[in-house]
Amino acid sequence: MAASCRFLVRFNTLQKCILSVNANAECSISSALGGIRHKSTISQSEQHQYDLVIVGGGIVGAATAQELITRHPNLKLAILEKEKELAAHQSGHNSGVIHAGIYYVPGTLKARLCVKGMEMAYKYCDKHQIPYKKCGKLIVAVEPEELPRLDVLMERGLKNGVKDIRMVGPDAIKEIEPNCVALKAIHSPHTGIIDWGLVTKHYGKEFEKRGGNIYTNYEVDTFLTKAESKEGSIQGLTHNVEIHGSNPANPVVSCRYVVTCGGLHSDRLAEKSGCNPEPKIVPFRGEYLLLAPEKCNMVNGNIYPVPDPRFPFLGVHFTPRMDGSVWLGPNAVLAFKREGYGYTQFSLSDFVDAVSFRGLRKLAVKHLGYGIQEMYKSIYINAQVKQLQKFVPSLKLEDVRRGPAGVRAQALDRDGKLVDDFVFDSGSVDMSSRVLHVRNAPSPAATSSLAIAEMVADRVEQQFQL
């Protein structure tokens, strides 16, 4: 009898162990299939219910998520990211510059958020020991007709409150950049370089440490609204927005409110919730050249040309990188896919979507010569080198090779005008009281990310009455 009892006790213990192993295995399998980077201990009916969901795991989405969970630690928050990791596109494919705020029209969100964001970025990196370099920046005028435009930039920088900028002549330029030749330049000592992809992932880790969940491999397919109900979160709040992923393995995520920070897909996410399809996102690929390793001492910091106001982009420049390399460029050509990093990456639907948009056709007609020039530079790198030689004459064609590329989400209106400032939208549809779209967050969005996050969080609190 005693032996029988001992057997039953051991059998029950073994059974509990097997059940425990099975439960852990099911959780791990669910995590792998659904692209979820967390293991939930709550019931199946509750584990995909949130008070607020951020769609988009780029630097703006991750910064916003971190800001919201810091302000509201009792709310359940999640990020939905369509790629396998954060910062997969614009946030991880850029020049890596910490901008000071010189270029932007005084009074615009770009100007205010960049100046504030730079200070916040340096403080954040110091606090969390994220590496950066304050290597400075020269904006150089090499032709007499560029001097008035340089003066305008200087005036803008001063009005924007950019610290310690000064106008310098040829001798001072030589002291700062011995290989640079220019008539005059603006020196910005606080401009820096950083790995913005690394910063984005740090935002994500801080979000998770505070209790947030990150779903990766989760591409949003549809937003659905359902009738108000008493069922919902632990706090008894309703979850009347359903988010469905494009992968059948993605769980249905329910939430009260949604903030989208979709970058290259921001217009499509807005459309999915019933909002206006404009401004339209048109993808422009920027292709970089690389200095040969033995030539990377040619420059000490960032060297930029004076931008030509007739054209929509800043022009090619020298940018040191955190790994010691130096990037040159980029140019700007139409990408044939929303995430098309080369000519061989082509999406028929993305291409037709872009060229059928009236705004792009108007932009192309207006800047036809510029567009042809940019495509020529893409094919023949000596054309890009010639532009760079205007302010660093010692650069030679044999000093460079082709490098990486990034894709910029350029917002356009139907008249072909570039939407240059940040755009936020909720539309006037059923979901409008429960969704906030960041429709346009162009450069310097990375530099401004913490300041943008504060502003978005303020809007969320006001609009959703959190």
List of the chain residues with pLDDT < 70: 1-46, 227-237, 312, 428
User: The tokens of 435 are what?
Assistant: 């969704």
Using a cut of 0.85, tell me whether the model's pTM lies above it.
yes
Q: Please check whether residue 428 is in contact with residue 42, taking contact to mean a CB–CB distance below 8 angstroms.
A: no
User: The tokens of 445 are what?
Assistant: 């969005």
Q: Is the dihedral of CA 220, 44, 28, 39 positive or negative?
A: positive
Question: Beta strands of 17-122 (E only): which ranges?
Answer: 49-55, 77-80, 97-98
Q: Residue 39 and residue 195: Cα distance in Å, rounded?
A: 29
pLDDT in the model for residue 297:
96
CA atoms within 13 A on the CB side of 156: 22
What pLDDT digit, counting tens, does each position of 23-53 carry? 343 333 333 333 433 333 344 556 799 999 9
Which H or E run contains 258? strand 253-260
Cα-based distances in Å from 262 to 158, 243, 303, 358: 33, 15, 31, 22
Residue type, 425: D
In Å, how far from its chain's centre is CA 400? 28
Burial status of residue 140 (CB atoms within 10 A of its CB: 0-12, 13-18, 19 or more) = buried
Which residues, in sequence order, are CB contacts of 357 under 8 Å at separation 6+?
280, 282, 412, 414
Burial status of residue 10 (CB atoms within 10 A of its CB: 0-12, 13-18, 19 or more) = exposed
* Dihedral pair phi/psi, residue 408, rounded to 5°: -100, 130
Q: Please check whether residue 120 is in contact with residue 176, taking contact to mean a CB–CB distance below 8 angstroms.
A: no
Residue with tokens 């302000």, as numbered in its chain: 71
Q: Residue 414 and residue 438: Cα distance in Å, rounded?
A: 19
Q: Residue 48 and residue 68: Cα distance in Å, rounded?
A: 18
How big is the CA angle at 110 (ends 104 and 116), to the nearest 5 degrees? 105
